Amino acid sequence: MMIRRNLKEIQQMVHGKGLVENLWDEVIIGVSIDTRKILPEQLFIPIKGETFDGHDFIDDAIRNGAKATLWNEGKPMPNIDIPFIVVSDTLLALQNLAREYVNQLQVKIIGITGSNGKTSTKDILYDILKMKYRTHKTSGNYNNELGVPLTVLSMDEETEIAVIEMGMSGLGEISLLCTIAKPDIAIITNSTDVHINDLGSVENILRAKMEIAEGLKESGLLIHYGDSELLKKAVEGLERKIIKQSFGEMEDNRYVVKLISTGDDGVYFRVMEEESNVYHLPMLGKHQMYNGTAAIAVARYLQISANEIQRAMFELSVTGMRNEIVHADGFDILNDTYKSNPTSMRAALETLYSLNHYTQKILILGDMYGTGDNEIQNHLRIGEEIDPFQVDYIFTLGFLGEYFAKGAAINFNQDKIITCRSKEELFNGLKQVIQKESIILVKGSRIVKLEEVVEKLLTLHIE
């Protein structure tokens, strides 16, 4: 169940006006900003974007079952047959509604931010916590000024813990999200140069990530990656009465993690705290042990035993398009098409190298966006780092992708590197070289839409 309130309560929560008194007792169940997905009895909240205005689709919302709507006071009053509440700004009203809803519930908020690993950490932690608590989590990547309020408003009233992903593209955004869903526990998975296009420097990125620590409730718990000197110093400099715990491979961390092995059945690792325990995550890549350890740290704080954590990890379910093996007809695809930056690219390559039973390993690499003024150098450097003893062919796509190829040319024969101008050219070239029992790593930023390549590959049959 999601938010359920009468319209008088809704009007108060959004600081609205204009609702006719005889409609006060009408009840809405849930909210939606998308007329294509709205359900009967829901409150429609029309949002104005850069290229669209939700107010223009009010008739669609009503046709699809909207019970009531908010309405921006700057718009002409609507001639509609459902109740409407007038607000100064519908986005602010959505955020106010979510903020008030959280305040009315007895729910513990866990906020997760970081340059990489937010979604995996969220999924792992959710699967652990749901064994003991009524738990809710961010759906997909609903982690911004719209997504976090919608996540909150989709919670059941009896929810005990909400695991909420908090993303950002600029300073002040995480601070805002923390006013909507103020965390009792916060996780900073890491802080790298992923958002350097938006923020200009690694220091500004760190400042943005640290907003979650500033937004943490008094005496709350902050879990952070302790092997980063920059992040470590920033946390040590906090003058707040909060609990600080770190994780990482260095011995001075509260939770010390050591890799045991990694392969196509996932990653095995040991975590040292008061005692030493071995964990297995059915997720690909060494980097997942850090995400797992962050989740373990929170779970242990919430009195969940190591045995319970181990059992939950065995039954893990994760969000798609992130480092997952997809079985095609005669070969496998390592699908990592959600986003790409130097840190996640290196992690994906390490994962590919750890998979040893394939006859052939192929890379399909698309542009890494958002890496700042050094984007060409970043692509060249990744290309230079690709191990010629671990990879048979490299296919690149896009303008920046060509610099992967130029970097790789230092260590690879030219006939092993294929630069492509289109997905069709890439697919046709791949068909010429792929063998049975190959594995193909497909990796690129979301904007390149390499998931379309994955879909095309799934139609291929290799004898």
| Contact between residue 367 and residue 401 where contact means Cβ atoms under 8 Å apart | yes
Checking if the pLDDT of 305 tops 90, the result is yes
Higher confidence at residue 450 or residue 93?
93
pLDDT digits (tens, 9 = 90+) for 91-107: 999 999 999 999 999 99
Checking if the pLDDT of 194 tops 60, the result is no
pLDDT digits (tens, 9 = 90+) for 393-447: 999 998 899 999 999 999 999 999 999 999 999 999 999 999 999 999 999 888 8
What pLDDT, on the 0 to 100 scale, is given for residue 195?
A: 45
Helix-helix angle 375-385:401-408, to 10 degrees: 40
Domains of the chain (ranges plus CATH)?
4-90 (3.40.1390.10), 105-314 (3.40.1190.10), 324-457 (3.90.190.20)
d(CA 214, CA 178): 9
d(CA 313, CA 242): 28
What pLDDT, on the 0 to 100 scale, is given for residue 323?
A: 65
Q: What is the percent of the chain where pLDDT is above 70?
A: 95
Mean pLDDT of the chain: 91
Mean pLDDT score, 209-219? 93
What pLDDT, on the 0 to 100 scale, is given for residue 135?
A: 97
Mean pLDDT score, 223-238? 92
Mean pLDDT score, 66-90? 95
Q: Where does the pLDDT of residue 318 fall: very low under 50, low under 70, confident under 90, or very high at 90 and above?
A: low
What pLDDT, on the 0 to 100 scale, is given for residue 325?
A: 82
pTM comes to 0.78
